[in-house]
Structure 1
Amino acid sequence: MVYCWKIVQAQRMSKGKHNVMKFRPCIDLHNGKVKQIVGETLGGEGQAVVENFVSSYDSTYYANMFKRDRLTGGHVIMLGEGNKEEAIKALAAYPGGLQIGGGIHAENASFYLEQGASHVIVTSYIFRDGQLNMDNLTQIVEAIGKEKLVIDLSCKEKDGKWYVATNQWKQLSDVELNQETIRFFEQYCDEFLIHAVDVEGKQSGIQQSLVSSLAAWVTIPTTYAGGARSFEDLALFRQLSQGKLDITVGSALDIFGGKLSYDEVVEQLSNSL
């Protein structure tokens, strides 16, 4: 997931209820540049990162674009070291309009909120050595409050089940993603961000079974990412999710080297599919 757009609810009338959907943007940073990459190639030993797109613009260009287009609640993802400066510049350009993830922990979460992030996003910090680390989860909730926390439960399929993938998606945890675990994590965060790792960045179509399952499980705002490539995919997603989930479109957009018109996506998805 490098650059992305999410269809999201404009307002929540109450916890777990969605209203009119709109876009939230996302900026992914790798080696200090805005990129679109195939996420599962990141950090692979002896494997080069597959880059779908490398922007000639910096993070503030996109943050200002999102601000201009009134696309609130997006996020910045720091993919490894060397991205902190660009991330902070994006937050400063659009204070309160972006979330931030990548290397976030209890000790630095407040810092990024002070720089202008609306929420922080965590994955590997709360999953250590393939297991849930409750001490770390408790510490970050105590540090910033659940209202400022997004938990990333990106997952891969194994034997017909979904397992949370951590450590730059190289390691499968022992945490199976199902209704029980979703209910558990909902106690500790404001939103979920969930990539279908097997299709993310590949423009191969959405992971339909995961979308349907998530729609049946979640009761808080949840964004799905992975594989969306066309308006047909977006319409299918909305049908399968029954409007209960949000979606990210990244590499498929023309502003990131794809074929989907960004302007058309903004216009059409600001209304309805």
Structure 2
Amino acid sequence: MTFDAFEVVPAVDVQDGEVVQLVAGERGTGRQYGDPVEAATRWVEAGAETLHLVDLDGAFEGARANADAIGRILDATDVGVQVGGGIRTVEDATDLLERGVDRVILGTAAVETPEIVGEISAEHPGSVVVSLDAKDGEVVVEGWTEGTGLDPVEAAGRYADLGAGAILFTNVDVEGQQTGVRTEPVRELAASVDIPIIASGGVADVEDVVELRDAGAAAVVVGTALYEGNFTLEEAQQAVA
């Protein structure tokens, strides 16, 4: 998986069929932003080249729960799509990839059964994004509720060797808080592996987007700051053009 240029990727996180943005990954802290298809269409019309879709119920419960909403987004849009949340098996991933998803995001499944990364990548090279969500410098899983003892840099190297196409790094400590990004973890990850790093968490303004690019990220996922109107997608894209 490669990025021809730095991408700003809008997030469409779905809970109970609606767009929701959580604060620090805590269930129940979310603010609702309406219909997922309307949100996705709005970002595409604003110039998004890729959409980041997450089934939050799936992430917490361990099984995909918003497949209908994600399917409707796939039907309504014609840009690249990466999907995460509740993907626990090769069959789950294959179903999404055959449905037209470009990249599947594996978090808990990759930690619990690392070989799944290689199995999916063998049939669909470059399609697996491993999600390394870090809280207090430790990779967490099960919807950010359980620690693993894993160091993000060491884990990234392991998954790169297994065939992952990219690493999605979310700093849970600042996720959804619009308090600014922490670039050092992103810089360390980007320096440690040859596959792209997609950064997420804490973006409050356009300067944060630029800082993540300068830290070595290939793309940044932005949610709350876009929904709250801190800046437009076009403004962010122009800042890193």
Scaled to the shorter chain, the TM-score interval is 0.7 to 0.9
Write the letter of the residue equivalent to 1:89: R
Match of 1:228 among 181, 203, 206: 203
Change in CA separation of 1:30 and 1:194 when aligned onto 2, cut-off 3 Å: same
Question: After superposition, where does 1:26-65 map in structure 2 within 5 Å?
Answer: 26-42=11-27, 49-51=28-30, 53-56=31-34, 58-65=35-42
Aligned-pair CA distance for 1:166: 0.5
Match of 1:205 among 158, 162, 180: 180
Change in CA separation of 1:54 and 1:244 when aligned onto 2, cut-off 3 Å: closer
Aligned partners of 1:22 and 1:270 also within 8 Å: no
1:91 matches 2:66: no
% identical equivalent positions: 25
For residues 158 and 181 of structure 2, the distance between their equivalents in structure 1, rounded to whole angstroms, comes to 26
> TM-score, normalized by length of structure 1?
0.76
Write the letter of the residue equivalent to 2:32: V
Match of 1:136 among 108, 111, 116: 116
Change in CA separation of 1:270 and 1:115 when aligned onto 2, cut-off 3 Å: farther
For residues 41 and 268 of structure 1, the distance between their equivalents in structure 2, rounded to whole angstroms, comes to 27
For residues 119 and 187 of structure 2, the distance between their equivalents in structure 1, rounded to whole angstroms, comes to 32
Match of 1:172 among 142, 147, 153: 147
For residues 237 and 175 of structure 2, the distance between their equivalents in structure 1, rounded to whole angstroms, comes to 21
What is the root-mean-square deviation in Å for CA atoms of aligned residues? 2.4
> TM-score, normalized by length of structure 2?
0.85
Aligned-pair CA distance for 1:37: 1.3
In structure 2, the gaps of 5 or more residues are 59-64
Aligned partners of 1:21 and 1:270 also within 8 Å: no
Change in CA separation of 1:148 and 1:226 when aligned onto 2, cut-off 3 Å: same
Aligned partners of 2:132 and 2:168 also within 8 Å: yes
Match of 1:238 in 2: 213
For residues 232 and 150 of structure 1, the distance between their equivalents in structure 2, rounded to whole angstroms, comes to 26
- Which is richer in helix? 2
Change in CA separation of 1:219 and 1:138 when aligned onto 2, cut-off 3 Å: closer
Larger radius of gyration: 1
Aligned partners of 2:24 and 2:175 also within 8 Å: yes
Match of 1:218 among 193, 209, 218: 193
Write the letter of the residue equivalent to 1:150: V
Aligned partners of 1:96 and 1:116 also within 8 Å: no
Question: After superposition, where does 1:100-119 map in structure 2 within 5 Å?
Answer: 100-104=83-87, 105-119=89-103
SS of 2:225 mapped into structure 1 = coil
SS of 1:229 mapped into structure 2 = coil
Match of 2:220 in 1: 247
In structure 1, the gaps of 5 or more residues are 1-10, 13-17, 43-48
Count the aligned residue pairs: 233
SS of 2:25 mapped into structure 1 = helix
